[in-house]
Structure 1
Amino acid sequence: MKNMTLEHIANACGGSYIGTEGKKTVCVSDITTDSRKVSDGCLFVPIQGSRVDGHDFIDQVIEKGALAVLSEKDLGIQNFPYIRVESSLKALKDLAEYYLQQLKIPVIGITGSVGKTSTKEMTAAVLSQKYHVLKTQGNFNNELGLPLTVFRLRDEDEMAILEMGISDFGEMRTLAEIARPKTAMITNIGYCHLENLKDRDGVFKAKTEIFEYVRDDGHVILNGDDDKLEQVCDVHGIKPVKFGLNQKNDVYADEIKSMGFSGVSCTIHTPAGSFKTLVPMPGKHMVYNALAGTCAGILYGLTLEQIKSGIESFQPLEGRFHIITTSRYQIIDDCYNANPMSMKASLEVLQDGEGRKVAILGDMAELGKDEKDLHEEVGTFAGSLKLDALYCTGRLSESLAAAAKKSNSKLDVRHFVDKDALLDWLPILLKDGDTILVKASHSMEFDKVVKYLEREEK
């Protein structure tokens, strides 16, 4: 890791080095907080959690080959070097910021209420046509996950694409201070984390904290169709590049046509010209992700041919509108997370499925005082679509189911007291050839529903 000697690490995080002089100038090979992922020559950063204290594993990680550790505790004189710090978590953030400064590569920070991960994947698919790109993996997008993503960067990486997730005010400021993005991208402002952020104005305020740390020579990419983001005309002297379906945007799409579960075809218009493409994932919302990736591609010097190739190479992740075909069903695994905007988008796409269209839905979390109304809103929307069945479980989804039934009395709507009851009934309710959407907030553990459907055979 470039310039990550123990001496530099101690200085960067304001810690005190305790060990031999000879080890001070040795570079660590990696930085980890997981004792199970310790490798030879790495630095182990113990985090004190609610259940486990990483300091309890210090002897173990040294035996496994760690070069040194950080510690909030006085370990006395040891036969290995360590760096004493006030807070391991703060030190981790300081080290990530320092490490990025050493690498001097552009960072694209992506946030928004819906579509952060798919937009990150799409943007990476596009920019990988020209650059060696490192992107956030899984849900490593918070104050702990983002630094760990940064530590995966190596000399060959030419660009970092970092997903930035928050749930309260001030959190984006912390992430942005680490990342110092050259490009800030916001997908939309929706209804999420309302327990802390209260309403969409609060979401807007929290998400746009990212602007405070955009580099002076940087860019801002925004969804120009979003009523909150369209009002942003200047970010510290930077004129935002806007995308959407409206022709007023800098980059826009038209001639949009659903190709079923094969994806969505469209024509994308840019200041550099236009091109036709197939976004290989269903849903109009995926066109927005392709447009965001197109904006990034143009700003970083890709040709339209390269951008088109990147869009068409996109691959969805497990749990995020991942389509699974079994001997009995076609399953849309979209159970990683859910909010009203993403729930409606997925339900709309379900209509393109073959056979009966069945939605299996669970609660949407962190919606605050309006949670019941927002579930009812999704239920009413589901009732307006060409669906055959809606099966729900969860306390809040009872309101969703009732609203769907009220909206469409012909729709087969059922609510189950818990997930086990739902699973007991599914073999009776489902039919061969069904297309089934499985979606809920991550806390509902609907990945178990997906696994159950995958296992079920005649």
Structure 2
Amino acid sequence: MKPLTVQNLKAITAGHLVQGSEEVLIQHGAYRLKQVKRPNTVLFTSKPIVNWEKLKPFYPLVLVTDRFYRKNEVPEQIIIIKVTNTDEAYWKFVNFYRSQFKLPIVAITGTSGKSTTKEMIKHILSAKKNVTATTLSSNSRTASLQYLLNIDDRTEAAVFETAVGSPGDIRIAGEYFKPTIGIITNIGAHHLNYCKTLEGYIQAKAEMLDIISPTGALILNAEDINTSKLDLSKFHGRIIKIGKHASCDFRASNIRYHKNGMLFNVHHKKQLYEIFVPGFGEHQVYNALAAIAAIYEMGLPISLAAEQLQSYQKLNKQLQVFKGINNSILIDDTWNITTTSLEAGLKVLNALGEGKKKIAIIGTITDLGSWGYIIHEQAGELISQIGVDVLITIGEHASIMAHHAVDLGLSSPVYTFKNSTRVYQLLEEIVDENTILLIKGDMYSKEVSKLADDLKINKPSSSK
């Protein structure tokens, strides 16, 4: 955080200093008591603080509040700024802090590929700039303040995930970050327990159009069906399209699997670039295209992206290839599961498993609410279309996809389990050195994640 004094903060929030010195320096910020972890923090809260003793290690502490405290009720090491409305004071502070910095800020949303695209952009930028970014996939509302305060005078660019758990999440993130570049990687079906319908989820993603600077740019996957449903007429910035179609601003061609990743060509402004990106699957090409478009928008050359992407380190449990049980090949894709990422995983399984027995082990898709049955049926349709040699599902809801795949004509052996207890035993019997396994789930499914780890032998392996 770029430090400021209590005197500065008093002016920013239009507050009145009730107790303490105006000269105290503020170096951290919080709006929840549990976020106070260091001295010289400003805490914005209307809630009463009862246990001052617990806060002693973090003195001096600056309290911005609209709550009335009696004289001698608060320790003298607490600096108090009294405001008319704590929430209004908080957003005045946030807006002031963001306004201090004129730099490119990228906001990324999408059903799949957010973390990967963000990490790619960060990796490319880090060759030339001081970059701050969200950590892995930690992108909740409560983290936004800390990420904003990570920007200081040394920062030259920032990249933030703006996920959707509920409608309004992206809009709130925009209030913090005020991005100059937005990316929507794709829109599948997720978080329907809060967004209620697919249309509601699409509209929640469409909030990205509202938060980008009018002079900024929006990067879109031109071939994503649900993204094409967005009403772009209200967006006043520039729209940059990525994909394989000739109309795309950044176009990929000659896509092929290579050792440990994907090779492809990028066409832009009549120039041709050959790109290698670690990580298997055509979806990885789209992630890289979005990253390339973003860094180019910031004034960096595509040649730099081509060079940097070669050393990009994939995230754990995202289509990672290992030597597996009985000398098989294991693809661990237990980072998250949506129909979008399931389709990508199954396509990678087929591509890497040419000539081998292909087994898919799939867990439950979460955060679907009343849409659970329909989305699991859609997953079953994907499985029947793409095909596997053996299908294993784990969890009661996951069995819906298995039954639906069979109903649609999948003739391969199908096994459904309520939990993972007997799965390992089955795999010991049916897996050999001519087998490739895809295990698909999310980070919150301990059972599926543990099974993936149990199936690994030694270190990551390359294939094909």
Alignment TM-score, normalising by the size of structure 1: 0.85
* Aligned with residue 447 of structure 1, among 442, 446, 449: 449
Q: CA RMSD in A?
A: 3.4
State the structure with more CA Rg.
Answer: 2
For 1:304, the equivalent position in structure 2 comes to: 302
Q: Distance in 1 between matches of 2:67 and 2:427?
A: 53
What is the CA deviation profile of residues 301-345 of structure 1, one whole-angstrom value per residue up to 9, with x for unaligned ones?
Answer: 112211212332322222333444468554433223221111111
Post-superposition shift, 1:203?
2.5
Q: Indicate if the aligned counterparts of 1:111 and 1:163 stay in contact, CA closer than 8 A.
A: yes
Summarize the Cα distance change of 1:70–1:455 in structure 2 as closer, same or farther, 3 Å threshold. farther
Q: Which moved more, 1:107-116 or 1:366-375?
A: 366-375
* Aligned with residue 273 of structure 1, among 263, 271, 275: 271
Q: Distance in 2 between matches of 1:16 and 1:335?
A: 52
The alignment partner of 2:272 has SS state of: strand
Q: Give the partner amino acid of 1:392.
A: T
Q: Give the partner amino acid of 1:182.
A: T
The alignment partner of 1:288 has SS state of: helix
Percent of pairs with identical residues? 24
Q: Give the partner amino acid of 2:74.
A: I
Q: Distance in 1 between matches of 2:191 and 2:369?
A: 7
Instruction: Map residues 106-255 of structure 1 onto 2, 5 A cutoff.
Output: 106-230=104-228, 234-255=233-254
Instruction: Map residues 23-34 of structure 1 onto 2, 5 A cutoff.
Output: 24-31=22-29
Post-superposition shift, 1:3?
4.5
Q: Indicate if the aligned counterparts of 2:334 and 2:441 stay in contact, CA closer than 8 A.
A: yes
Q: Which moved more, 1:32-41 or 1:443-452?
A: 32-41
The alignment partner of 2:241 has SS state of: strand
Q: Which moved more, 1:67-76 or 1:392-401?
A: 67-76
Q: Which moved more, 1:241-250 or 1:368-377?
A: 368-377
What is the CA deviation profile of residues 22-79 of structure 1, one whole-angstrom value per residue up to 9, with x for unaligned ones?
Answer: xx3333333356859823444467898xxxx9x5775334325664456686663213
For 1:263, the equivalent position in structure 2 comes to: 261
The alignment partner of 2:4 has SS state of: coil
Q: Give the partner amino acid of 1:447.
A: S
Post-superposition shift, 1:114?
1.9
Q: Distance in 2 between matches of 1:360 and 1:454?
A: 14
Q: Distance in 2 between matches of 1:238 and 1:296?
A: 14
Post-superposition shift, 1:346?
1.1
For 2:78, the equivalent position in structure 1 comes to: 81
For 2:396, the equivalent position in structure 1 comes to: 395
* Aligned with residue 53 of structure 2, among 37, 49, 59: 59
Instruction: Map residues 31-42 of structure 1 onto 2, 5 A cutoff.
Output: 31=29, 38-42=37-41
1:437 and 2:438 correspond: yes
For 2:5, the equivalent position in structure 1 comes to: 5
Q: Distance in 1 between matches of 2:52 and 2:361?
A: 45
Q: Give the partner amino acid of 1:237.
A: H
Q: Give the partner amino acid of 2:376.
A: H
Q: Give the partner amino acid of 2:390.
A: A
The alignment partner of 1:103 has SS state of: coil
Summarize the Cα distance change of 1:238–1:414 in structure 2 as closer, same or farther, 3 Å threshold. same
Q: Indicate if the aligned counterparts of 2:189 and 2:339 stay in contact, CA closer than 8 A.
A: yes
Which structure carries more strand by proportion?
A: 2
Q: Distance in 2 between matches of 1:104 and 1:59?
A: 40
Post-superposition shift, 1:14?
6.7
Q: Which moved more, 1:435-444 or 1:128-137?
A: 435-444
Summarize the Cα distance change of 1:379–1:108 in structure 2 as closer, same or farther, 3 Å threshold. same
Q: Distance in 2 between matches of 1:148 and 1:300?
A: 24
Post-superposition shift, 1:364?
0.9
The alignment partner of 1:144 has SS state of: helix
For 2:417, the equivalent position in structure 1 comes to: 416
Q: Which moved more, 1:79-88 or 1:371-380?
A: 79-88
What is the CA deviation profile of residues 185-229 of structure 1, one whole-angstrom value per residue up to 9, with x for unaligned ones?
Answer: 111222122233344432232212222232232112111122344
Post-superposition shift, 1:244?
0.9
Q: Indicate if the aligned counterparts of 2:349 and 2:436 stay in contact, CA closer than 8 A.
A: yes
Q: Distance in 2 between matches of 1:433 and 1:11?
A: 70
Q: Which moved more, 1:356-365 or 1:268-277?
A: 356-365
The alignment partner of 1:352 has SS state of: helix
Alignment TM-score, normalising by the size of structure 2: 0.84
Q: Distance in 2 between matches of 1:136 and 1:267?
A: 29
Post-superposition shift, 1:179?
1.3
Summarize the Cα distance change of 1:282–1:104 in structure 2 as closer, same or farther, 3 Å threshold. same
The alignment partner of 2:351 has SS state of: coil
Q: Indicate if the aligned counterparts of 2:139 and 2:161 stay in contact, CA closer than 8 A.
A: yes
1:339 and 2:333 correspond: no
Q: Indicate if the aligned counterparts of 1:380 and 1:406 stay in contact, CA closer than 8 A.
A: no
Q: Indicate if the aligned counterparts of 1:233 and 1:239 stay in contact, CA closer than 8 A.
A: no
Q: Distance in 2 between matches of 1:437 and 1:247?
A: 33
Q: Distance in 2 between matches of 1:361 and 1:421?
A: 14
Summarize the Cα distance change of 1:208–1:377 in structure 2 as closer, same or farther, 3 Å threshold. closer
Summarize the Cα distance change of 1:17–1:395 in structure 2 as closer, same or farther, 3 Å threshold. farther
Summarize the Cα distance change of 1:456–1:216 in structure 2 as closer, same or farther, 3 Å threshold. closer
Q: Distance in 1 between matches of 2:351 and 2:276?
A: 16
Q: Which moved more, 1:98-107 or 1:269-278?
A: 98-107
Q: Give the partner amino acid of 1:171.
A: D
Unpaired segments ≥5 residues, structure 2? 460-464
Q: Give the partner amino acid of 1:81.
A: I
Q: Give the partner amino acid of 1:156.
A: R
Q: Distance in 1 between matches of 2:156 and 2:304?
A: 17
* Aligned with residue 316 of structure 1, among 314, 317, 321: 314
The alignment partner of 1:252 has SS state of: strand
